[in-house]
Chain A
Amino acid sequence: MNADEAMREITLAVNGKTHTCKVAERINLADFLRQDLQLTGTHVGCEHGVCGACTVLVDGVSARGCLMLAVQADGCRVETVESLAAGTQGAAGLGPLQAAFRDRHALQCGYCTPGILMSLTELLRDEPSPDEEAVRLVLSGHLCRCTGYQNIVAAALQAATKPAGGA
């Protein structure tokens, strides 16, 4: 770290765990999660806010990790992909949306997947039974080069019909 670099202390809850740390003022939230907290599930795809790979939830709302400074998350509750399998067990332990992604072959290289999972998590919380159009609208904030989106749509709709703890 450059000795001259401006630092600031922040406190935030990431996936339910509170962290108080000194961070560079200029570091963005995605880099902070990846480098300082070693939560490398959040990926950086374009660093200009278009591809959506770095999407995380900040106080329950989706945000581009590359367009938000870590210091702006001071006092916030941040959720990343690493939180989605919480409470599941085994080598294939996956949350319901993740399991639907596996069932429907909704990922190939997997690089864009964590950001998409977070946006869909937000969607399914707000709207537990979205239709295809609503899913595609949310997905339009994400770029995926592998899947052509079709199986992601299918996975989201599958997860929607079986919400966690639901019927």
Chain B
Amino acid sequence: MDTIVPSGQVVEPAAATSGDGYTARRMFGTRAPRIEDPALLRGEGRYLDDIRMPDPLHAAFLRSPHAHARVVRIDLAAARALPGVVAVFDAQAIARELTSLRMPLGFPSATLQKDITPWVLSCTEVAFVGEAMAMVVAESRAIAEDALALIEVDFEPLPVVHDCHQALDAGAPVVRSDAASNIAERLQVGFGEVDTAFAGAPHVFSESLFVHRGAAHPMEGRGVLARYDPVEDAITVWTSTQMAHEVMHSISAMLGMDQHNVRVIAPDVGGGFGCKYLTYPEEVAIPAAARCLGRPVKWVEDRAEHFVSAIHERDQYWDVDIAVDARGTILGVSGRLLHDQGAYTPQGINLPYNAATSVTGPYRVPAYRMDVIICQTNKTPVIPVRGAGYPQAAFVMERLLDRVARELAIDRADVRSRNLIPAEKMPYDKGLTNRAGVRSIVDGGDYARTQSEALARIDYAGFPARQRDARARGRYLGLGLANAVKATSRGPFESAVIRVSPLGRIDLYTGALAMGQGLATALAQIAAEQLDVPLDMIHVTCGDTGRVSLGMGGFASRQTVMAGSSVHLAAVEVRNKALKVGEQLLGVPMDALRLRDGRVESVADSGRFVTLGDIARKLKGAPGYSLPPGITPGLEATGLFQTNSQAHANACHACEVEVDPGTGAVRILRYVAVHDSGRLVNPTMAEGQIHGGIVHGIGNALFEKMGYDDEAQPVTGTFADYLLPTATEIPHIEVVFIETPSPTNPIGVKGIGEAGTIPVAPTIVSAIEDALSPWNVHLAEAPVSPVRLLELIDAATAT
């Protein structure tokens, strides 16, 4: 059993040895243990609900039980009268504390339907189950929840939009009475001569695909704590978020307080996966209540709330056509995507836009056109979850290629390798722009090599014999494969400040946001590489707007690239400054100096040194005394790496499954993932990202379905109904890295957080279809449950 052997193959960096035998410390690229771990392992993490505050109040939200209803009457009197209740806010009451009752739109858009964002608290109408209508603030959470039961509401149920196909029907009800239509926006993306490509094509194949992705479900839900200081008229808000700075700006605008007086801090964050990349109504309501009541107010989401009030990804229906020649070379792809946006649009159209623009993925497609209809339904609002539309797009493209392979009797690997973007064509212009209008240029990678590595690892050539042998014994094995590419490292910038104190402490502040990936360790490794200090000398603070004025946060697999590059720039500047000052203080030329363990020392005589703390003390200034010539004040530097280019991470996955045609059970026997995420800062953490990403994808392929009935009532409200993968369903995952440095940034890295998820569903579904080939079962959806597989087997048997 070799199943616990780490599978990464990485190039360990060469160390630089100086004349006296001291080897400069290499941190970049090493498997350093995480600096986050000791506290978390001892139970000393400080997540939102662990923060203690004197004299706190606790909030609970009344949430709509109806998918769509008019609120005829709301009576708060009994709730307000309950002992221990301090205040009850409905929409009217909270509106008095705010500049707007409607949340701001996350991303600016001129084309999106107007007045489409959620309310802080809904007023006269509710539009999805889980929508917040009132907030109780009490001495304890238990009392607050008791009071919720005392709020009397008269609802008049309204007709419900439960699905985006129904949303388009003539005469369908409208999702909200203030919505002009159920279509939030229509758009078209594409390039090339699509009609010509299809008109002249030897073969055209069509697919109607349904791709469902559930919710993010970090193990820690959302939570907000706010403390108002009336003397300073300032508010501090702790929130479990992926974007402290944007939340700060939202609170500033909504509470009418300048950003000077609003500080947002992300404590330890128990996972995000997309659902915390948003300013939620609760993140405005809680600070508003804290300011109004003059006492700290805390709200911690429970899982039941998370299921209905934290964002989902949910449904996409794709009707797509592919035009190919006799060899399976792609001539064009076109189609229509119907996207379920839910009842409100808090952020924008990034999820369907990403999905529509990433279909062509790692393949050369000469002509492409996708019509996108963004539909509103009476369900929980939608923004991206890990993968952000790319998993759906990969599902579409890979299903089309499997279809081409089957129809033209071409091997599935061959049809892919014939269409992959060749390494010699890099950098490759995809012919598309991102949502901000920047051209999508794939910066590099060797896709053919990635695929051939995956095929070799899974012994693709030997599979037909394995499949034959198994079938002879009544067992049904299948093999699947899929490629993926992810545009990572979304700009425009990220911040990093490195500051050395006169006591020698090194602080690193960034607007990037740690939510479990090991960001602090990765950034410390990048800084330590330049400063030549052990990791535990670097104190990393992420996501505190009081420490660094600018920041973007955690999304789009960006932080190692964007914050990492900023840290690198700042660390190089601090290093050079320390050496320059050392030269003057020690009288030794810079090139004969080195940094080591927090000192600048002479290479020839390590007894001649000055500590970084000494230098910082010198550079903090003393009244009237000049600084060393040519040196600016302070031993600190700010890095603001800025780019519009995206580093493209790619992958090829292959897996072997066994399907039991009697029960529909799918067992994953082997899973191989070959990834290129550029240079790896920490191969162990990189493997961890791939493992977690793949298991999220396995959930999407086999288990996770956020179910609703025809009245848009959720039917999967617990982890007993909504299944996350557990350890017994997951095979050992074999991860292999290819490292093609990205030219888009100074450290050559590419993002890694989402790439693992993207090709999983098409890989597994392809394998299942292959296993069931004796029945000729065709799979056009994800996830696929055992029951659904049995239905499809039965249907295929009947015909």
Interface set of A (CB-CB < 8 Å, partner B): 1-5, 24, 26-27, 34, 38-48, 50-51, 53, 80-82, 84-85, 91-94, 98, 101-105, 107-114, 117, 132, 135-137, 139-154, 157-158
Supply 13 further A-B pairs (C-beta < 8 A) apart from A4-B83, A34-B49, A140-B727. Answer: A41-B44, A46-B718, A48-B304, A48-B720, A53-B219, A102-B41, A109-B516, A111-B271, A140-B726, A145-B273, A145-B692, A146-B688, A148-B693
Q: Are the CB atoms of B140 and A109 closer together than 8 Å?
A: no
Say yes or no: A48-B142 contact (C-beta < 8 A), given A40-B43, A53-B219, A143-B726.
Answer: no
Q: Are the CB atoms of B695 and A149 closer together than 8 Å?
A: yes
A145: which B residues are within 8 A, CB to CB? 216-219, 271, 273, 692, 696, 724
Bound-state CA distance A154–B271 (Å) is 22
Q: Are the CB atoms of B47 and A48 closer together than 8 Å?
A: no
Q: Is B715 an interface residue (CB 8 A)?
A: no
- Across the interface, B34 reaches (CB within 8 A) one of A5, A24, A34, A105, namely A105
Q: Is B669 an interface residue (CB 8 A)?
A: no
Interface hit among B103-111, B489-497, B728-736? B728-736
Contact indicator per residue, chain B 42-77, by CB within 8 Å of chain A (1) or not (0) = 111111011010000000000000000000000000
B770: which A residues are within 8 A, CB to CB? none
Which of B42, B82, B687, B718 is most buried by chain A, counting CB atoms within 10 A of its CB?
B42
Sample of 18 A–B contacts (CB below 8 Å): A34-B49, A40-B49, A43-B220, A47-B302, A47-B304, A51-B303, A84-B41, A85-B41, A94-B42, A101-B37, A103-B33, A110-B40, A110-B268, A111-B218, A143-B724, A147-B691, A148-B692, A150-B730
Q: Is B517 an interface residue (CB 8 A)?
A: yes
Within 8 A of A (CB), among B213-229: 216-221
Least CB distance, A152 to chain B, in whole angstroms: 7
Bound-state CA distance A53–B626 (Å) is 57
A41: which B residues are within 8 A, CB to CB? 42-45
Q: Are the CB atoms of A148 and B695 closer together than 8 Å?
A: yes
Q: Are the CB atoms of A111 and B270 closer together than 8 Å?
A: yes
Least CB distance, A103 to chain B, in whole angstroms: 7
Q: Is B610 an interface residue (CB 8 A)?
A: no
Q: Is B139 an interface residue (CB 8 A)?
A: yes
Which of A103, A104, A150 is most buried by chain B, counting CB atoms within 10 A of its CB?
A150
A117: which B residues are within 8 A, CB to CB? 41
B205: which A residues are within 8 A, CB to CB? none
Q: Are the CB atoms of A2 and B47 closer together than 8 Å?
A: no
- Across the interface, B142 reaches (CB within 8 A) one of A24, A34, A82, A135, namely A24
- Across the interface, A45 reaches (CB within 8 A) one of B82, B219, B273, B688, namely B219
Say yes or no: A48-B33 contact (C-beta < 8 A), given A34-B49, A40-B43, A148-B692.
Answer: no
Interface set of B (CB-CB < 8 Å, partner A): 1, 3-4, 33-34, 36-38, 40-47, 49-50, 52, 82-84, 139-140, 142-143, 146, 216-221, 268-271, 273, 302-304, 515-518, 536, 684-685, 687-688, 691-696, 718-720, 724, 726-728, 730, 732-733
The 5 closest A-B pairs by CB, nearest first: A41-B43, A109-B516, A111-B270, A110-B40, A148-B691
Q: Are the CB atoms of A111 and B4 closer together than 8 Å?
A: no
Q: Are the CB atoms of A150 and B219 closer together than 8 Å?
A: no
Bound-state CA distance A137–B727 (Å) is 7
Least CB distance, A156 to chain B, in whole angstroms: 10
Bound-state CA distance A76–B136 (Å) is 36
Bound-state CA distance A112–B50 (Å) is 14
Q: Are the CB atoms of A109 and B727 closer together than 8 Å?
A: no
Say yes or no: A150-B220 contact (C-beta < 8 A), given A108-B692, A145-B273.
Answer: no
B271: which A residues are within 8 A, CB to CB? 108-109, 111, 145-146
Main SS class of interface, A = loop
Bound-state CA distance A81–B728 (Å) is 24
A38: which B residues are within 8 A, CB to CB? 52
Q: Are the CB atoms of B50 and A40 closer together than 8 Å?
A: yes
- Across the interface, B303 reaches (CB within 8 A) one of A42, A45, A110, namely A45
Q: Are the CB atoms of A94 and B41 closer together than 8 Å?
A: yes
Q: Are the CB atoms of B42 and A84 closer together than 8 Å?
A: yes
Say yes or no: A109-B38 contact (C-beta < 8 A), given A43-B270, A47-B304.
Answer: no
A91: which B residues are within 8 A, CB to CB? 38, 536
A112: which B residues are within 8 A, CB to CB? 219
Closest to A116 in B: B727
Q: Are the CB atoms of A1 and B720 closer together than 8 Å?
A: no
Say yes or no: A98-B146 contact (C-beta < 8 A), given A48-B720, A111-B220.
Answer: no
Q: Are the CB atoms of B691 and A114 closer together than 8 Å?
A: no
A27: which B residues are within 8 A, CB to CB? 142
B732: which A residues are within 8 A, CB to CB? 150
B303: which A residues are within 8 A, CB to CB? 45-48, 51
Q: Are the CB atoms of A143 and B269 closer together than 8 Å?
A: no
Say yes or no: A94-B38 contact (C-beta < 8 A), given A46-B718, A48-B718.
Answer: yes
Closest to A41 in B: B43
A103: which B residues are within 8 A, CB to CB? 33
A92: which B residues are within 8 A, CB to CB? 38
Bound-state CA distance A164–B153 (Å) is 59
Q: Are the CB atoms of A110 and B270 closer together than 8 Å?
A: yes
Which of B45, B50, B52 is most buried by chain A, counting CB atoms within 10 A of its CB?
B45
A98: which B residues are within 8 A, CB to CB? 41-42
Q: Are the CB atoms of A136 and B724 closer together than 8 Å?
A: no
Closest to B719 in A: A50
B269: which A residues are within 8 A, CB to CB? 109
Least CB distance, A51 to chain B, in whole angstroms: 6
Closest to B690 in A: A148
- Across the interface, A109 reaches (CB within 8 A) one of B41, B52, B219, namely B219
Bound-state CA distance A39–B52 (Å) is 12
Least CB distance, A162 to chain B, in whole angstroms: 14
Say yes or no: A148-B517 contact (C-beta < 8 A), given A46-B718, A103-B33.
Answer: no
A101: which B residues are within 8 A, CB to CB? 37, 41
A1: which B residues are within 8 A, CB to CB? 84, 139-140
B687: which A residues are within 8 A, CB to CB? 105, 151
Q: Are the CB atoms of A151 and B49 closer together than 8 Å?
A: no
